[in-house]
Amino acid sequence: MPGNNSSAGAEDYDFILVGAGSASCLITSRLSQQLPDHRILVLEAGEHFRNDPKVQTPGLSPSLQSDPTYDWQYSTAPEPGLNDRRVKHPRGKLVGGTSAINSHSVVFPNYEWHDRIAEDLLSNSGRGDWSSQGMKDCYRRWYTGSSKPGVNDDVGSLDRVQTSYPPTMDALQLQWIKAFEELGHATSTTGFSESTAGAVTITNAIDSSKGERSHAGTAFLEPALKRGNVTLRTGVKVNKIEFDEASTAEGRLNARGIRYTYQGEEHLISAREIILCAGVFGSPSILERSGIGSKQVLAAANVPVLYELPGVGENLQDHLNCGLSCETQDDIPTRDEGLWDPEMRKAASLEYEQSRTGRLAEGPAYSFAFTPLQMLETPSETQQLTESVKRWVEGETDPSLRSQYSFIQKTIESPREATATTFLVRSQRHRDTESLPKDTPPFVNANFVTVIAMLAHPFSRGSCHITSDPSHQPEIKFNYLSHPLDTEILARHLLLIERLFQKPTFTALRKPNGKRLPRTFPRAISSLEDAKDILPINAATNYHPSSTCSMMREDLGGVVDEGLRVYGTKNVRVCDASILPIIPRGNILTAVYAFAEKAVELICREVESSA
| pLDDT tens profile 128-172 | 999 999 999 999 999 998 544 343 344 457 899 999 999 899 999
**DSSP code string of 227-251:** SSSEEEE-S-EEEEEEE-SSPPTTS
* Residue boundaries of the structural domains of the chain: 12-156+213-316+545-610, 171-204+320-455+482-538
pLDDT at 211: 95
Give the residues of the chain that fall short of pLDDT 50: 1-10, 147-155
Q: How far apart are CA 488 and CA 319, in angstroms?
A: 15
pLDDT at 12: 84
pLDDT on residue 151:
35
Q: How far is CA 160 from CA 139, 189, 413, in A?
A: 11, 21, 36
Give the span between the Cα atoms of 392 and 384, in whole angstroms. 13
Q: Which CATH number fits domain 12-156+213-316+545-610: 3.30.70.100, 3.50.50.60, 3.60.20.10, 3.20.20.70?
A: 3.50.50.60
Q: What length is written for the chain?
A: 611
Domain 171-204+320-455+482-538 falls in which CATH fold?
Glucose Oxidase; domain 3 (3.30.560)
| Helical (H) or strand (E) element with 537 | helix 528-538
Give me the pLDDT at residue 156, please.
Answer: 54
pLDDT of residue 145: 81
The residues facing 206 across adjacent strands are: 213
User: Looking at residue 6, what is its pLDDT?
Assistant: 43
HEC-encoded secondary structure of 96-136:
CHHHHCCCCEECCCEHHHHHHHHHHHCCHHHHHHHCHHHHH
* DSSP code at position 374: G
- CB-based burial of residue 186 (10 Å sphere; 0-12 exposed, 13-18 middle, 19+ buried)? exposed
Question: In CATH terms, are 12-156+213-316+545-610 and 171-204+320-455+482-538 the same topology?
Answer: no
- In whole angstroms, give the CA distance from residue 568 to residue 311: 13
Q: Which of 377, 366, 194, 309 is nearest to 550 (CA)?
A: 309
Q: How far apart are CA 363 and CA 450, in angstroms?
A: 15
Contact assessment for residue 16 and residue 258, using Cβ atoms and an 8 Å cutoff: yes
Give the whole-angstrom CA distance, residue 41 versus residue 232: 6
Q: How far is CA 255 from CA 277, 290, 294, in A?
A: 16, 10, 19
Q: Are 523 and 516 in contact (CB under 8 A)?
A: yes
Is 435 exposed, middle or buried, given 0-12, 13-18 or 19+ CB atoms closer than 10 A? Answer: middle
Q: Read off φ and ψ for residue 400, nearest 5 degrees.
A: -65, -50
Beta strands in 184-235 (DSSP E): 198-201, 203-204, 206-207, 212-213, 230-233
H or E stretch covering 504: helix 504-509
114-133 confidence digits (pLDDT tens)? 999 999 999 999 999 999 99
Question: How would you classify the pairing of strands 230-233 and 420-425?
Answer: unpaired
Whole-prediction pTM: 0.96
* DSSP symbols for 19-31: --SHHHHHHHHHH
Contact call for residues 600 and 573 (beta carbons, < 8 A): no
